[in-house]
Copies of this chain bind each other. A is one copy, B any other.
């Protein structure tokens, strides 16, 4: 986890120009401004903040977030949780369903491990079968080594994403009661993340979506309370909407993570004056390897950046050099001058792409190269390993 791939350590302190392409580069100045803005927001609104580490997949960045005030991190996979815990992050929430007995055995051992460090493991569930299997795994771990631990379990409700999660209302209550039957499980509250709302383009649509999510949460909490059960924490909210969840008074924890790097896709949302603004801080450095009369070809294709949320934007240092990126396959990007510009960039010209979606882009790389002093004349200050790259199970 701590050693760098060969050749990379030599980059430390070198000018940004020395970074060969394609490479994933963090503008550390921009990232730290983003982090400070989020930390200040959470502090001012007195709300817990547990950023999603599926963005950066890095133990060092998780620790930087915790130092800035985060209570821990969220992850989506057992294997990601293992990487975080191995690196010394002991408050980890697997905000996803885990069903496979082999994985649940690993989850139970992780719960013991973080408890030994004074931390806490949490997980989401959306089925009685999932809860029962989790309890079995916790009991088996206890029987195996005599260590008794309690894992926090959030009931996931579907607040509009249409993916995982039970329907808000009575199904969630049933699940909360099932969790409370098992001494090794603690009902911790509701997972109510509205992923789709993050990328609704209009402000009004995003506000409507989160208002509906809040209604569903409030209704479900009331039903849980009528059973005499403490409804616990409500956790959710992403970079595109968290100001709305925070203002609801019912969400107690924000999971927003993307604000650190800012996907190009978020730039396409209509700007909500109520929402915090963040800067793009993650770039794929690339260079032109082939030029033609109407287009140039660069050495970064979709093996270097994820295209599930659209093509990357080309960062333009001035209006005359604006370029549009077209898919050129795994290893190539096609660049054409944008409207108002005519220049095809020359052979060897360095360009900076803003990925459409940062999480899966990071997953394609072994390291992120941290630069201070800007993309043109900065220097390499730190290299971050993508510790949980490829952590799938």
Contacts of A164 in B (CB 8 A): 289-290, 297, 332
Residues 23-42 (chain A) with a chain B CB within 8 angstroms: 23
Q: Is the Cβ of A100 less than 8 Å from the Cβ of B287?
A: yes
Say yes or no: is A274 at the interface (Cβ < 8 Å to chain B): no
Contacts of A100 in B (CB 8 A): 20-21, 287, 348
Residues 346-393 (chain A) with a chain B CB within 8 angstroms: 347-348, 359-360, 363-366, 389-390, 392-393
Bound-complex Cα distance A365 to B390 (A):
6
Q: Is the Cβ of A392 less than 8 Å from the Cβ of B287?
A: no
Say yes or no: is A327 at the interface (Cβ < 8 Å to chain B): yes
Contacts of A348 in B (CB 8 A): 99-100, 129
Say yes or no: is A208 at the interface (Cβ < 8 Å to chain B): no
Chain A contact residues (Cβ within 8 angstroms of B): what range?
Answer: 35 or more
Specify which of B23, B302, B334, B389 is in contact with A393 (CB 8 Å cutoff): B23
Contacts of A130 in B (CB 8 A): 289, 347
Given A163-B329, A331-B76, A390-B366, A103-B20 contact (CB < 8 Å): yes
Residues 93-108 (chain A) with a chain B CB within 8 angstroms: 96-100, 102-103
Q: Which residue of B lies closest to A165 (CB)?
A: B290
- Which of A142-150, A221-229, A262-270, A304-312 contacts the other chain? A304-312
Contacts of A129 in B (CB 8 A): 347-348
Q: Is the Cβ of A127 less than 8 Å from the Cβ of B332?
A: no
Contact with B along A99-131 (1 / 0, CB 8 A): 110110000000000000000000000110110
Q: Which residue of B lies closest to A98 (CB)?
A: B289
Q: Is the Cβ of A76 less than 8 Å from the Cβ of B366?
A: no
Say yes or no: is A77 at the interface (Cβ < 8 Å to chain B): yes
Contacts of A163 in B (CB 8 A): 290, 297, 328-329, 332, 334
Bound-complex Cα distance A331 to B79 (A):
12
**A-B contact list, 23 entries, CB within 8 Å:** A21-B100, A21-B393, A22-B393, A97-B297, A99-B288, A99-B347, A99-B348, A126-B290, A127-B347, A130-B289, A130-B347, A162-B334, A163-B297, A163-B332, A164-B290, A164-B297, A303-B392, A307-B308, A330-B359, A330-B360, A330-B363, A363-B364, A365-B390
Question: With A22-B392, A302-B360, A330-B360 given, can you name 8 additional A-B contacts, CB distance below 8 Å?
Answer: A21-B100, A99-B289, A130-B347, A162-B334, A165-B290, A303-B392, A308-B327, A330-B363
